[in-house]
Amino acid sequence: MDTQSLLDQAIKARKNAYTPYSKFQVGAAVLTRNKEVFTGSNIENASYGLTNCAERTAIFKAVSEGEREIDTIVVVGDTEGPISPCGACRQVIAEFCDINTKIILANLKGDKVETTIDKLLPGFFYAKDLKQ
């Protein structure tokens, strides 16, 4: 699965965004290590804080179908530069990826940046911290 195909799927998923409040649509696509693809869009709520970002939607779809490890995640929005995930999403991405996971941030103009979780969220809270 190449990056362009994942980006195309994220752009398509973006069209399903439910954004009556911000009108800001975001799409995401997750490729798992089992080579399955899950897409997501942001889903807003009249109680604004209950909004679910696109990348969390895609990750939760993957995890709820039994997937646990992300190979690549692509996020796309109509931003000036590549979109930047919120802090909550960074922590959720951290749960299911490692330093080899490709995190690709993009916009509709074709700007793209590839990064890793240690750059996006240095010092993130890690599952192993819970183990005694």
Q: By three-state DSSP, how is residue 14 classified?
A: helix
Choice from 26, 73, 76, 104 touching ligand THU (CB under 6 A): 26
Residue closer to ligand THU by CB (options 114, 129) is 114
List 10, 13, 31, 53, residue binding ligand THU (CB under 6 A)? 53
Whole-number minimum distance, CB 126 to ligand THU, in Å? 21
* 55 labelled catalytic: yes
Which is nearer to ligand THU, 24 or 34 (by Cβ)?
24
Segment interacting with ligand THU (CB under 6 A) among 6-14, 29-37, 52-60, 117-125: 52-60
Give the C-alpha separation, 105 to 81, whole Å: 9
The kind and range of the H/E element at 91 are helix 87-95
Q: For residues 3 and 51, which CB has a smaller minimum distance to ligand THU in the complex?
A: 51
C-alpha span between 9 and 4 (Å, rounded):
9
CA pair distance 123, 8, nearest whole angstrom: 32
Options 38, 72, 85, 106; binder of ligand THU; rule CB under 6 A: 85
Of the residues 55, 65, 69, 114, only one is catalytic, namely 55
Q: How many helices (H) and strands (E) does the chain have?
A: 4, 5
C-alpha gyration radius of the chain = 14
Active site residues: 55
